[in-house]
Structure 1
Amino acid sequence: MVLIVAVPLLYSLYLSFNSTNPITKRWIFVGVDNYTRVLENADFWFALGRTAYFSALAVVGTTVLGTLFALVLNQNFAGRGFIRSVVLIPWAMAPVSVGVLWSFVYAGNFGLLNGLLHDLGVGSLATAWFGDGFRALNLVALTQIWNQTPLTTLMMLSALQSMPANLHRAAVLDGAGPARRFFAITLPWLKPTLLFSMIIATINALMTFDIIWIMTRGGPGTATSTLAWLGYMQSFQFLKFGEGAAILYVLTILSLACAVLYFFVLSPRRIETTPASAGAERADIGSRARPAMVAIPAWQARPLLRPATKQMIGKGLFRTAVAAIFVWSFLPVVTLIFISLSPATDLIRTPPSIIPSSLTFDNYRSVLMAEGTTSVQASRVPLSLFNSFVIGVIVAVINVALGTLAGYSFARHAGRRFFAVSLWALLLTRMVPALTLVLPFFVIFRSLGLIDTYLGVVIAYSTILMPLAAWMMKASFENVPLSLERAALVDGCSYWTMFRKVLVPVVRPGIIAALIFCFLVSWNEFLFAMILTATPKTQTIPVIIAGFLNQARFYEYGPLFAASVLAILPPVAVAFFFQRYLVQGALSGAVKG
């Protein structure tokens, strides 16, 4: 991690103190002049304001919806496992595919939303949804909420499943209703997870790049230009590496501030107690664990509705909530599938309509077998799928192997200062925006000949995934009793034999969860792949999908949507078949970027 994170970060900091010319390769040390120019630029402050608004809207939306979804999915009902898998689909999808889908929904001339309005006979309400800057920013934030809400749901659901059921039973016996139980028991129990998920949602919102790149490119005008987008434009469009690095370091400081907030809010606090006060403290904890007797108001003594009626209404509302969650999560995906099966002429007809004239597999034949198409991008889809799979497997195996060894060390030696400090340092690296690392990677890899190679991509992806794998495996090993290791050592096992034949089989579910998380993140990664690959021999499927948008013609829309469907199939399959492992991973404190 020192090599692949600390060194690039220091190099990026060095870049921010220099004025560079990539053509003449001249470097001029300018000190803090880049930061001064950035802070004096009105565009920076406008971007900062948009970033704050966008992040606040995304965090509130994902937190509220994720918590509500988790509360519903924590109940027992027929088909719960299926609905839980469906909920994970938006999160499992690559942000590039998410951006493609919602861009076509909001497209002005022939978008699906305007098509629906025309089909309903209210075509006068159709508009260019991205024509207004403020509305465009809100629509991008809504897309971010749709994509990230399942992550919050996953963490909240795991916390709810770990809550002792006897707390609610005691409250029911005391006469507490659902609302009182939620605020007195459930919400306090969820508080650590709630704070953690809000910090993660904030970091993800601050670092949002893929969706903005696909949907608006920072427009209209600069209406959706956030700090991440501004840093990218300065670095890779205007080739002002120094000013770009300065902007990205400001973004890094904001991200690390959130990480420090997480550390101070959620880290366990040591409370010094005397023997005399220990008993009182235990009594106080016990009293807090038991809900207080709830006084029932007089107006509640005579219920307005019969118990059977209340139960029927409650069931109806619950089923409505389940149906709404299903529609929210699955309907856009079904829409993407139907678009991919539509003829090219249906995708550009005016007035638009959501009803296809026919269904065809021509779009899939054009991307899988290069039949009936002149699209260069379509012919690159099969190789890009292969690249994504190979890179995903390699990255997942390497990082989980190293993360397993690191997680064991962190779990067994957490009390030592070196391991405690290094663990938090490892977690802080997860809070560094990828844009801050991709700029020095691009400069360094170009000099080392690692651009457009599997090795370069694997190294770059590991900056994201190694902290994730180590953190997950640490939580898995903490649940294994130390006595198991001692018994194996007493029986004559060496440390390596004990680790390989005793511990690894015990933590196998955690290893599977870590492999799934790492593969999903690798498969969906766009920024590193876009900057560090140059030819189809190493480009992954998100890069190829984005390439459609650079040279799209009307006949390429069908192959674009077909490629987007093919890109989401592996992660969606993983979400369906390994849903319980993903929940277990969230329970172990894992997060995705």
Structure 2
Amino acid sequence: MTVTAETATMTLPSKKRRRIGRLPAFAYLTVTPTLVLMALIVGLPLLYSLYLSFNSTNPITKRWIFVGFANYTKMFETMDFWYALARTAYFSALAVVGTTVLGTLFALVLNQTFAGRGALRSIVLVPWAMAPVSIGVLWSFVYAGNFGLLNGFLHDIGLGRLATAWFGDGFRALNLVALTQIWNQAPLTTLMMLSALQSMPASLNRAALLDGAGPVKRFFSITLPWLKPTLLFSTIIATINALMTFDIIWIMTRGGPGAATTTLSWLGYMQSFQFLKFGEGAAILYVLTILSLACAILYFFVLSPRRATSASAPAEVEVGVAARKARPTMVAIPPWTVRPLLHPATARTVRSVLFRLAVAAIAIWSFLPVAALVFISLSPATDLIRTPPSIIPSTLTFENYRMVLMAEGTAGVQAQRVPVSLFNSFVIGVIVSVINVALGTFAGYGFARYGRHRFFSVSLWVLLLTRMVPALTLVLPFFVIFRSLGLIDTYLGVIIAYSTILMPLAAWMMKSSFETVPLSLERAAEIDGCSRWTMFRKVLVPVVRPGIIAALIFCFLVSWNEFLFAMILTSTPRTQTIPVIIAGFLNQARFYEYGPLFAASVLAIIPPVAVAFFFQRYLVQGALSGAVKG
């Protein structure tokens, strides 16, 4: 009997026939919880925020008046908006250039072999792992006009005449805030560049060495083309992080002096939560959202791989995987040679000295400010406000730590709240990390295995775009909605808000982890009779356990350091986290609170610093997967 394709299809079991031409239900079940939750906690608040921007609201009378585009028209007609936009553009450009250049240079140095490299890699990550609130406290005291560390150092070395009020000049203040942003964000670029360098085949450099190429030729002909996808990606991420900068500005300058450091994020915050003009504030924040999404679209347009892939390879949309799997377009090494200016032995000595100086400079840049924070936390309160200032303490004491840890009656109100806030940060961080990584693991599998299908590819793009939405745009509708639902000052409200940041991050990281698992492993499990759920739980999850650990670490760090959501959505010590308590110290103009403030800041950085030191390889793996923290 002749068997045609049609009759062969008819003879297949009904279960097999149902799979032909469509995906199994398990594929949709993996991503549905994440997509539904993101639609509820990001999509609806965004629509509500858009609705707010078309209204004029009065929170006292609770009257809403529909004004259409009047808020936007009024915004574009005011010079405050255009000045804030110009400052945002300048601040972002300065921060991005500094972050990209320093981060790349650090990565090139840390990719070399030298004694203490592992320790220095961990030290470099410390500024990035620290909460922006703690960073703002540290650098605010460094630049303080009357008794800051910088002026104290100048007095101690006999250059007191150079001491000045560093934040007294508006343009200088904006540049100093940008420098602080660079100090905080450059390690992220270092992390991504270092992971890309470690994935570069050594054979490329060996071949260039055999051709007689020197270090400069090798960098521009081999290293730079290899780094290009990751470099472009890190630049876009640095741009978005700069556009969304809020915590550091809130702590260091509050938009001042005058309006010198008022960027769009700070302007939107003031309109919404200081002047209670929700409609005008929502309009400003939507403009900021459009700028952030424009950068995200640029990222997808520039960095999406355009080369053909095999039918079995999942579609890749993030540059982390592209940077790992792509091969650079090799640039021909120029035939010309430059006559060396120094004898080869002398040149080697000079390079060795310069390299050691670079290592020392990186260590000082990364560690010295953190050491200064610990040092001043051990100083008596009177040393912190003496004039003329000095960085040499009269004595060292643990009194500041006793005041915040023992919570005795002699301590200030804010100091007594530190232990509870540390507990709140830990509990919220653990809960929100476990929930989001669990959902992200399922979603990551679905996006990794079925990314070629339109539904999954479009869903992933939309999910990643939500990561580019500024938290300020979401916190305003959260505040209004949660207040009506009774979720203000609750763990649940904070966990929901944090998930808007963590869920796309976890899904993205786990997608990259599952892409490293060969399909043959799943086929072998199916042949052995495993159901899809059993195969996923008993075969795949153990294989991607390192990726799960990396995602948990990243999510916990983001949760621990988050400030904006916690500040707006909590109001009592029952749920306030450590960044909020640290910020609360600044509202108390009492000199005896300075010591406990710095002690609390040190306690706040211990968990992220410990993570940077003991889980460095997981952080590098997360960066290699294309994960970022904002």
Same fold (TM over 0.5): yes
TM-score normalised by the chain length of structure 2: 0.90
Separation in structure 2 between the aligned mates of residue 505 and residue 373 of structure 1, nearest angstrom: 52
5 Å matches for 1:200-219?
200-219=237-256
Separation in structure 1 between the aligned mates of residue 506 and residue 446 of structure 2, nearest angstrom: 13
Structure 1 window deviating more from structure 2 (74-83 vs 448-457): it is 74-83
Distance 1:102 1:290, change over 3 A: closer
Separation in structure 1 between the aligned mates of residue 492 and residue 194 of structure 2, nearest angstrom: 37
Aligned to 1:2: 39
Whether the 8 Å CA contact 1:167–1:289 is kept in 2: the answer is no
CA displacement 1:36-94 (0-9 Å, x = unmatched): 11111110000000000000000000000000000000111111111000000000000
Aligned to 1:365: 402
Separation in structure 1 between the aligned mates of residue 611 and residue 623 of structure 2, nearest angstrom: 15
Task: State the Cα distance separating 1:552 from its structure 2 match.
Answer: 3.3
Separation in structure 2 between the aligned mates of residue 164 and residue 442 of structure 1, nearest angstrom: 50
Task: State the Cα distance separating 1:304 from its structure 2 match.
Answer: 3.8
CA displacement 1:228-260 (0-9 Å, x = unmatched): 000000000000000000000000000000000
CA displacement 1:306-331 (0-9 Å, x = unmatched): 32222221111111111110000000
Whether the 8 Å CA contact 1:94–1:525 is kept in 2: the answer is yes
Distance 1:20 1:497, change over 3 A: same
Tell me which of 228, 231, 238 is aligned to 2:275.
238
Aligned to 1:32: 69
Whether the 8 Å CA contact 1:344–1:554 is kept in 2: the answer is yes
Whether the 8 Å CA contact 1:170–1:290 is kept in 2: the answer is no
Whether the 8 Å CA contact 2:103–2:193 is kept in 1: the answer is yes
Aligned to 2:176: 139
Aligned to 1:277: none
Q: Which runs of 5+ in 2 are unaligned?
A: 1-37, 310-325
The one-letter code of the counterpart of 2:403 is S
Aligned to 1:55: 92
Whether the 8 Å CA contact 1:111–1:352 is kept in 2: the answer is yes
Whether the 8 Å CA contact 2:222–2:330 is kept in 1: the answer is no
Q: Does 2:472 match 1:435?
A: yes
Whether the 8 Å CA contact 2:225–2:328 is kept in 1: the answer is no
Q: Which runs of 5+ in 1 are unaligned?
A: 273-285
Aligned to 1:484: 521
Residue 586 of structure 2 aligns to a residue whose secondary structure is helix
Q: Does 2:232 match 1:223?
A: no
Q: Does 2:619 match 1:579?
A: no
5 Å matches for 1:415-454?
415-454=452-491
Whether the 8 Å CA contact 1:170–1:291 is kept in 2: the answer is no
Aligned to 1:515: 552
Whether the 8 Å CA contact 2:383–2:393 is kept in 1: the answer is yes
Residue 550 of structure 1 aligns to a residue whose secondary structure is coil
Tell me which of 213, 231, 237 is aligned to 1:194.
231
Separation in structure 2 between the aligned mates of residue 293 and residue 110 of structure 1, nearest angstrom: 55
5 Å matches for 1:536-551?
536-551=573-588
Aligned to 1:552: 589
Separation in structure 2 between the aligned mates of residue 240 and residue 100 of structure 1, nearest angstrom: 29
Tell me which of 336, 353, 372 is aligned to 1:335.
372
The one-letter code of the counterpart of 1:66 is G
Whether the 8 Å CA contact 1:171–1:291 is kept in 2: the answer is no
Separation in structure 1 between the aligned mates of residue 285 and residue 268 of structure 2, nearest angstrom: 6
5 Å matches for 1:443-482?
443-482=480-519
5 Å matches for 1:253-268?
253-268=290-305
Task: State the Cα distance separating 1:374 from its structure 2 match.
Answer: 3.6
Task: State the Cα distance separating 1:164 from its structure 2 match.
Answer: 1.1
Distance 1:290 1:349, change over 3 A: closer
CA displacement 1:112-146 (0-9 Å, x = unmatched): 00000000101010000000000000000000000
CA displacement 1:410-462 (0-9 Å, x = unmatched): 00100100000000000000000000000000000000000000000000000
CA displacement 1:10-52 (0-9 Å, x = unmatched): 0000000001111111111100000011111110000000000
Aligned to 1:175: 212
Aligned to 2:82: 45
Distance 1:106 1:235, change over 3 A: same
Q: Does 2:431 match 1:391?
A: no
The one-letter code of the counterpart of 1:377 is Q
The one-letter code of the counterpart of 2:43 is A
The one-letter code of the counterpart of 1:60 is V
Aligned to 1:107: 144
How many residue pairs end up in the alignment? Answer: 578
Whether the 8 Å CA contact 1:234–1:240 is kept in 2: the answer is yes
Q: Does 2:204 match 1:164?
A: no
Separation in structure 2 between the aligned mates of residue 288 and residue 8 of structure 1, nearest angstrom: 42
Tell me which of 564, 570, 573 is aligned to 2:601.
564
Whether the 8 Å CA contact 1:384–1:536 is kept in 2: the answer is yes
Aligned to 1:279: none
4+ aligned runs moved over 4 Å, structure 1:
286-291
Separation in structure 2 between the aligned mates of residue 526 and residue 213 of structure 1, nearest angstrom: 10
Q: Does 2:384 match 1:344?
A: no
Separation in structure 1 between the aligned mates of residue 333 and residue 584 of structure 2, nearest angstrom: 63
Whether the 8 Å CA contact 1:476–1:510 is kept in 2: the answer is yes
CA displacement 1:306-358 (0-9 Å, x = unmatched): 32222221111111111110000000000000000000000000000000110
Residue 489 of structure 1 aligns to a residue whose secondary structure is helix
TM-score normalised by the chain length of structure 1: 0.96
Whether the 8 Å CA contact 1:176–1:294 is kept in 2: the answer is no
Task: State the Cα distance separating 1:372 from its structure 2 match.
Answer: 6.8
Separation in structure 2 between the aligned mates of residue 288 and residue 414 of structure 1, nearest angstrom: 24
Aligned to 1:92: 129
Aligned to 2:335: 295
Residue 397 of structure 1 aligns to a residue whose secondary structure is helix
Q: Does 2:437 match 1:400?
A: yes
Separation in structure 2 between the aligned mates of residue 287 and residue 268 of structure 1, nearest angstrom: 12
Residue 56 of structure 2 aligns to a residue whose secondary structure is strand
